[in-house]
Amino acid sequence: MYNEEAHCEVVIERACNMIWPRDRIIIQACDDSTREDVKLRIDARVAQMQQRGHHCLATRRAVNKGFKAGNMINGMSFLNEVPWEFVAVFDADFEMPPDFLFQTIWHMQQDSRLGFVQGRWSFTNGYDNMLCWMQQVCLNYHFAVEQRARSWLRTFFGFNGTAGVWRRTAMEQAGGWNMESTVEDMDLSLRAYLNGWKFKYLHWVGCPNELPPTMSAYKTQQYRWNSGPMVVIKQLVTRIWTTDAVTFWDRISCSYFFFRFIYSAFLTVICLVCPAIVIWLDPWSWTWAPMAFLIAGNTSAACFVWFAGLLFWPYFLMQTGVGYFRVYAMLNGLAGSKKSGTWKVTKKFGKGGLGNRVYHKPYMLELVMALLFFGYAFAAVWHGVYLLGSFCWVMAWTFVMISFGEYLF
């Protein structure tokens, strides 16, 4: 936790309410908070749980070094004399079901080669606004399709950082949490997989949590989620193809897992340059090659119709608009910029907490993109490409909405 004023108390109580023999479980509130009022609230709730008979404690460190990974390493250092075997990880805004441990540990006991099991995220505020709904659609696809399929195929997929259980042996063999990484979950997952460990996703084990409800909080999260994997693949791509602990198919699955970031960036760039190509370089014609491009693109997006329904096009436009920020984050990660190695906490508000928000100024990247697509729209109409002009016009207003999204959501 880090200054989690909206969730710091309730998450401790939820963790203590999980059903498990009390002499076989330790609840840790790993607290990196800098605000004294939040620390006092955490200490009071921990003391309350201790009085109820729970083995609960708050762990802190003198210097907050190493982001979330450093916080968890510090927490586990308090257990050096305890013969623990598994560790369940939850972010502060997660609501773990009381039977979470019974639903997850059983699988770890049944298969000694499982390094971790991952639960499904569900969302408490998925319909609060358009931004939350868009994230919910995207993450529902990630869990219901991507994680589910990779788990069933026994190929590589990453730990999602929370709502899961790790095996101590797998963590230690892989080298533990990486304090230099802003995506410590993905970093450890890949190293463990390259040591021969397997993972399992449990779709029926749902853990509700809060989506970032503001554009500034969302972009903070997306920057880390897209720059961090680029740093990981730069560091470990050689190991993927040189280790003897995995098969050739495992190497392919790991490579494809990271290639999807490049693929999505490529499609985003295509959306940027296509209008210019169609208007000035290669006018559109209904021949086989352009039609094949349209069919391939729409087929790959068809699965989102299931999750987005009639609102597929607003979802598509928003995702495309945010895509340019993701590409910017990925380029920062590949370049090793200072910002890509810095952790900025995603602000969580809790129910009814948006009244305390601080508004971010309009985002310049999306404003520049809006001006570009307004130019595309007028150029397309001037050259008689009216369908393309309509798309560019709508896309331009999408960028305007994202730029001023802090005031709209």
Give DSSP secondary structure letters for 241-280.
TT-SSS-HHHHHHHHHHHHHHHHHHHHHHHHHHHHHIIII
Give the per-residue pLDDT at 121: 96
Backbone angles phi, psi at 315, to 5 degrees: -65, -45
Residue whose token pair is 């003391």: 47
Q: Which of 73, 71, 99, 82 is nearest to 14 (CA)?
A: 99
* Angle (CA) 217 149 192, round 5°: 75
Enumerate residues 6+ apart whose C-beta is below 8 A from 281. none
Q: How far apart are CA 224 and CA 232, in angstroms?
A: 12
Asked if residue 200 is part of any domain, the answer here is: no
Reduced to 3 states (helix: H, G, I; strand: E, B; else coil), residue 287 is: coil
Q: How far apart are CA 352 and CA 78, in angstroms?
A: 36
Give the per-residue pLDDT at 170: 96
Q: Which residues of the chain have pLDDT under 50?
A: none
Asked if residue 384 is part of any domain, the answer here is: yes
Return the structure tokens found at 365: 């990247």
pLDDT in tens, 299-351: 666 666 767 677 777 787 888 888 889 999 999 999 988 888 887 888 887 77
- H helix count then E strand count, the chain: 16, 6
The answer to whether 348 touches 4, Cβ cutoff 8 Å, is: yes
* Angle (CA) 141 238 161, round 5°: 35
Identify the active-site residue in 32, 91, 93, 250.
32
Identify the active-site residue in 31, 91, 93, 185.
185
The answer to whether 206 touches 97, Cβ cutoff 8 Å, is: yes
Range of the domain at 14: 1-60
Asked if residue 221 is part of any domain, the answer here is: no
Return the structure tokens found at 158: 């990453």
Number of domains within the chain: 2
Asked if residue 202 is part of any domain, the answer here is: no
Give the per-residue pLDDT at 261: 86
pLDDT in tens, 151-183: 999 999 999 999 999 999 999 999 999 988 889
DSSP state of 355: G
Asked if residue 383 is part of any domain, the answer here is: yes
Last residue of a domain, one of 18, 44, 60: 60
Give the per-residue pLDDT at 50: 94
- DSSP strand pairing (86-89 vs 56-59): unpaired
Confirm whether 185 is a catalytic residue.
yes
Confirm whether 111 is a catalytic residue.
no
Return the structure tokens found at 300: 């790959």
Asked if residue 347 is part of any domain, the answer here is: no
Last residue of a domain, one of 30, 60, 90: 60
Asked if residue 188 is part of any domain, the answer here is: no
What DSSP string runs through 39-100?
HHHHHHHHHHHHHTT--EEEE--SS--SHHHHHHHHHHHTTTTS---EEEE--TT----TTH
Reduced to 3 states (helix: H, G, I; strand: E, B; else coil), residue 277 is: helix
Return the structure tokens found at 260: 């999807």
Asked if residue 403 is part of any domain, the answer here is: yes
